[in-house]
Each structure stands twice: as C-alpha cells, then as structure tokens.
Amino acid sequence: MKSIARLLLGLTVCCLSAISVGFAEDAAPPAKPVSFYRQVRPILQRHCSGCHQPAKLGGNLQLISYELFQKGGDGGPSFISGKPDESLIVKQISGEKPEMPLNSDPLSEKQVATIRTWIAQGATDDTPATAKDDISAEKPPVYTSAPVITALSYSPDSQLLAISGYHEVLLHHADGSGLAARLVGRSPTITSIRFSPDGTKLAVAGGAPSLFGEIQIWDVAKKELIRSDTIGFDTLYGLCFNDEGTLLAYGTFDNRVRAIQVADGKQVMSMDAHTDLVFGTTFSLKNDHVISVSRDMSMKLTELKTSQFIDNITSITPGALKGGIMAVQRHPKEEQVLIGGADGEPKLYKIFRTQARQIGDDFNRLRSYTKLPGRVCSLQFNVDGTKFVVGSSNATSGAARIYKTDTEQPQAELKGQTAGVFAVAFRPDGQQVVTGGLDGVVRMYNAETGELVKEFSPVTLSPAVAAAQ
C-alpha cells in the first residue's frame, strides 16, 4: 500500500509540475483582438483625419476609410499586415518626437500600442457594410429625402445663403435661384454656420456624436477648405466670430466654452463653469468678453483675456428659467443680448450688471417678448438691431416670427411652417428673412410684411430605388 501511495504522490507531483510549466509558458496571454472600426478608426478620426480627408489631402493620404488608409499616400502604403515595425504609420507616430500628428500632441502610448497590435494581428477590416462612408467632393451625398436644416447663414453682401446638409454646406444664391457650390467635409452633422465679417471665410461647426467634434474654415471665393480642426469627442455647437474676424467662440457637448484664433486654431480662452451642453456663444460689443448659453438654464459671462468666469447674466434663482437656453446673439450696437430656449419666450438682457446681485432678482433682463409655441431654437437680429427673427419647435409643429426689438408683440407671423423651425437668418440688406427645419424646406419671407416669397428644397432628391442601385 505504501508503494502505491508513493506512486500516486509521484504522479501528482509530475502533473502539478507540468501544469506549473504550462502556466509559466502562458504567463503573457495573447493580446485581445483589436477592432479597426471600434478602436483604430476613432484614433484616426480624432487625431489624424482633419488633415487627411478628401477636402484637405495632406500627403495625398486619406484616413476616412480602411481602404484609403491601407492605400496610403505619397510615402506608400500606410501599413504592412503582420509587420508593425515595417509599417509607415507606426514609424510616423512612434519615437521621442513623432512626426505625426503634425502640429499637435503626440498619440498616447496606449493609442500607439493599439495601432501596433492591430497591425501585428493582421490589420483586418471589421467595418460594418452599413457604416462605410466614402462621401467626398467627387462623390457628394445623394439625398432620397430632404435633410433636416439645422443652420443657416447669409454672406455679409447678401449674395449667398449657406445651408446645412449631410456632410456638407450647400451654398445657394441668396435670391433662391439655385446652388452655387457644395462644400463637402468630414462631419456628418452640421450644427452651426457663420460667415466671417468680411465675407471671405465660412466657419462650420459640427462633428460625429461620440466620435469627434470639428471646426472647418472655408475660403468662400475659392470654395476650398483652409483648415479642419478636430476638437474633443463629440459634436460642437454655437459658432460666433468676433467683429474683427480673428477669433471664433464655440460651445461643446461636455459643458465647455472655447475661443480660438481663426488663423491657426490656437486656443485663447477656456471656460468650464457650465454644467451641461453649451448651445450658443457670442462676443460682447467691445469683443473683450464671451457670452455663452447652455442647457443648464444659464447665460454666463467670461472675460476673454483671462478666461475668468465673471457672472451669470440671467437669474440664478431655481425655477426662474423654465428650461435650457438654446440661442444667443449680441445686439449689433449695444451691450445687450437676445436669448431664447425651452420656455419659448425671447428675452433681451443687458450684458453687464450695474448693481449687486440679490436673491431672486433678474436685474439684467430688459424685455420679454410674446411666447412662441414650443422651444426657441434660433434667432437673429437685423444689421442695426431694430428687428429680429425667431424660430421655434414643439413635438408636432413649429413657428417663426419677426419682432421689433422695442415692442413685445410680434410684427409678423411667418406662415406656412409645417414642422419644427431649427434655423433662421436675417438677410443683411434687411429685405428678407429665411427659415429652415425638420421638413428640409427653405422658406424666404418679406422682412416687412412676413409674406412668403419663395420656398425650395436645398438639395436635389433622387428616387430611393435609384440610390440603392
């Protein structure tokens, strides 16, 4: 019996030794499979594709799809499957002073490792067929239904009307006579469009939800993209130029307000005092402060030079504001701002407080205007600030009105709205206003009488069957 026990003990020791050796050999298990679509593509989108897209071909390289990434640019193919150390992309993003991303912070060690591992594992493409998007100026969007219009802007000379589309801004002649150009970019969602004060540039804010935010700067005359800045991990909102056209302010999905230089994208102001999405920004009359409005039911004042939060322009009393604020614009000639939001009531405020704040006061408010149905989504003054146009939306319909700034009752109701109005604009020559929204129809109205002058779809519609083929 003792000999049998010794034999069993020996076998047990041998087995345990074998198991121990096995664990030692597998101490570093194989890396988990890396997904191109879920892990590599977001890195490229957020850090690289601003300079490597159809509208701006740095090094003749495009990074908007697996196929184009694989093809590479002037330097040859971007990667060699299974060979990360021989792959151009790894060489460009690695080392003490990586060559790419150009003029930006280098990728983190984790991001570089993700790309290396993906290449080492075979660099496979797992992009879903339904998610592939090869839209470019040569292959612009095809519409089977009119896109929702989220932004409108007239050029300062009243000759062009910029209209948001899918992946593009549609430049129309301001009289509605037809399309002048299609500015196709990277962002599928366009939230804000603004011409520079001199009309030479067009700034566009947007992005892709949960992926990246983007600001585009276009040369209006050449219809060419000057620069694309990828900012953050979600869509951007509420663009505004300062009066000199040298700075841009904008809001972010993650509660931030920023101002950047138009020339190079360098950040010059940062304010993080909001507690929810920032929908709109505007500069003070002297261009030394930025005013921002948010879903957090506040309008905040920030000093541009120091980035210091100065004041809540609106009341801070709980319940004083009935929901978030979605739109803001400064009066063209006064230190005053017009706002609108969830309560449907346009309001005019002075920017700077002249007496100490008291609990429950709304001291800076100068006037409230007759409510619109639903929530105010967009508003704009005329060039001298004597009038403004407002658009609103509720669950089933929308409305638009023209007001005189010194009168609470509307001057004209803009009839014919069949759905929510998300965007409005006042033509600089003062002759017309324009609306757009959920139904994808642009409507032009006489700015004095409110009479409908013209309506049209900003895009050419293709039959769904033809588009599928």
Q: Within a 10 A sphere around the Cβ of 408, how many other Cβ atoms?
A: 12
What per-residue confidence (pLDDT) applies to 55?
58
Q: What's the CA gap between 387 and 28, in Å, rounded?
A: 70
Q: What's the CA gap between 283 and 292, in Å, rounded?
A: 9
- The answer to whether residues 429 and 410 touch, using CB atoms and an 8 Å cutoff, is no
**Domain boundaries of the chain, sorted by first residue:** 36-131, 152-468
- Low-confidence residues of the chain, pLDDT below 50? 1-28, 465-469
What per-residue confidence (pLDDT) applies to 9?
36
What per-residue confidence (pLDDT) applies to 65?
74
Which structure tokens are listed for 233? 């991990």
What per-residue confidence (pLDDT) applies to 238?
97
What per-residue confidence (pLDDT) applies to 74?
82
Query: pLDDT per residue over 39-73, tens digit each?
Result: 888 787 777 766 776 656 567 776 667 777 877 88
Which structure tokens are listed for 140? 């612009």
Which structure tokens are listed for 427? 């033509």
Please state whether beta strands 325-330 and 421-426 pair in parallel, antiparallel, or not at all (unpaired): unpaired
Query: pLDDT per residue over 294-320, tens digit each?
Result: 999 999 999 999 999 999 998 766 556
Q: What's the CA gap between 259 and 291, in Å, rounded?
A: 11
Which structure tokens are listed for 64? 């908007």
- The answer to whether residues 296 and 318 touch, using CB atoms and an 8 Å cutoff, is no
Query: pLDDT per residue over 323-357, tens digit each?
Result: 899 999 999 999 999 999 999 999 999 999 988 87
Sheet with strand 410-413: strands edge to edge: 375-381, 387-393, 398-404, 410-413
Q: What's the CA gap between 436 and 163, in Å, rounded?
A: 9
Q: What's the CA gap between 413 and 449, in Å, rounded?
A: 9
Q: What's the CA gap between 130 and 146, in Å, rounded?
A: 20
Q: What's the CA gap between 34 and 124, in Å, rounded?
A: 9
What per-residue confidence (pLDDT) applies to 61?
76
What per-residue confidence (pLDDT) applies to 428?
98
- Cα-to-chain-centroid distance, residue 92: 28
- The answer to whether residues 291 and 330 touch, using CB atoms and an 8 Å cutoff, is yes
Sheet with strand 212-219: strands edge to edge: 189-195, 201-208, 212-219, 224-230
Q: Which amino acid makes up residue 260? A: I
What per-residue confidence (pLDDT) applies to 87?
85
- pTM here is 0.79
Q: In the CATH scheme, what is the code of domain 152-468?
A: 2.130.10.10
**Residue 170, φ and ψ in degrees, nearest 5:** -100, 115
Q: What's the CA gap between 346 and 364, in Å, rounded?
A: 14
